[in-house]
Amino acid sequence: QVKLLQSGAALVKPGASVKMSCKASGYTFTDYWVSWVKQSHGKSLEWIGEIYPNSGATNFNEKFKGKATLTVDKSTSTAYMELSRLTSEDSAIYYCTRIYYSGPFDYWGQGVMVTVSS
Amino acid sequence: DIQMTQSPSSMSASLGDTVTINCLASQDIGNYLSWYQQKPGKSPKLMIYGATNLEDGVPSRFSGSRSGSDYSLTINSLGYDDEGIYHCHQYYEYPPTFGAGTKLELK
């Protein structure tokens, strides 16, 4: 069965960076785009960007360009997102998702809670 | 960016009721709309895609419809397991965008 297993919660200082992982299993990793989604205040969802593991091609929400970096390791079927220059506005839960061919997000990781605090 | 105006922001209903949640797209998105259910402390779960298609394993009590740029999620025979936050999502155009969410509680 398809699973996306994300890394654990992170407590980071303002101005620092954080890198989180999303390990895929149960399907051919290189066949599907992986998206990253931010959930703030426990309710609203915001799309950060996506990466195609086969080629490394990426697309980003303009709002997150310069903030998020997406990479993959095909040998371990793992996608990564690094967030830089963190502020309190970056405190949120971050999900990785698999994108089904036409666009809906059919599988989600369990989420990573990032807390930015000194 | 395409704005998805979701309503209501919260609602309370009784066991066995039928409820409807709406999303209005700021421009044409065709049928490129999905609905997700999110239970407390859990990840969103895909319920409906292509505006009207039920994801595998989702009870037939859930249904999606479209009228122009208005999209609706209807839940029949409401049960306690249906509590949570429901999100609409358009994937017609970059960037994909979501509605603000509807919190559904049972009385």
Cβ within 8 Å, pair A45-B98: yes
- The answer, yes or no, to whether residue B102 has pLDDT greater than 90, is yes
Cβ within 8 Å, pair A102-B91: yes
Q: In angstroms, rounded to a whole number, what is the distance separating the alpha carbons of residues A110 and B100?
A: 20
Residue A106 distance to chain B (closest CA, Å): 6
Structure tokens at B55: 């994801």
- Interface test mutation site (partner A, options B6, B43, B54, max chain A beta carbons within 10 A): B43
Residue in B21, B6, B33 with CA at minimum distance from that of residue B89? B33
Q: What is the pLDDT of residues A102-111, one digit of tens each?
A: 689 999 999 9
Of B46, B85, B95, Cβ closest to residue A106: B46
Mean pLDDT of A38-61: 95
Cβ within 8 Å, pair A95-B87: no
Give the model's pLDDT for residue A116. 98
Give the model's pLDDT for residue B96. 97
Q: In angstroms, rounded to a whole number, what is the distance separating the alpha carbons of residues A72 and A50?
A: 11
Mean pLDDT of chain B: 97
Give the model's pLDDT for residue A43. 84
Residues of chain B neighbouring A100 (CB-CB closer than 8 A): 49
- Interface test mutation site (partner B, options A45, A52, A112, A113, max chain B beta carbons within 10 A): A45
Check residue B84 and give left, alpha or beta (phi > 0: left; psi -120 to 50: alpha): left
Of A43, A59, A105, Cβ closest to residue B100: A43
Nearest CA in chain A to B56: A106
Q: In angstroms, rounded to a whole number, what is the distance separating the alpha carbons of residues B73 and B62?
A: 7
Which region among A28-32, A101-105, B69-73 has the lowest average model confidence (pLDDT)? Answer: A101-105
Mean pLDDT of A95-105: 92
Dihedral sign computed on CA atoms, order A51, B39, A41, B34: positive
pLDDT band at A36 (very low <50, low <70, confident <90, very high): very high
What is the CB neighbour count within 10 angstroms for residue B105? 12
pLDDT band at B60 (very low <50, low <70, confident <90, very high): very high
Residue A52 at interface with chain B, using a CB cutoff of 8 Å: no
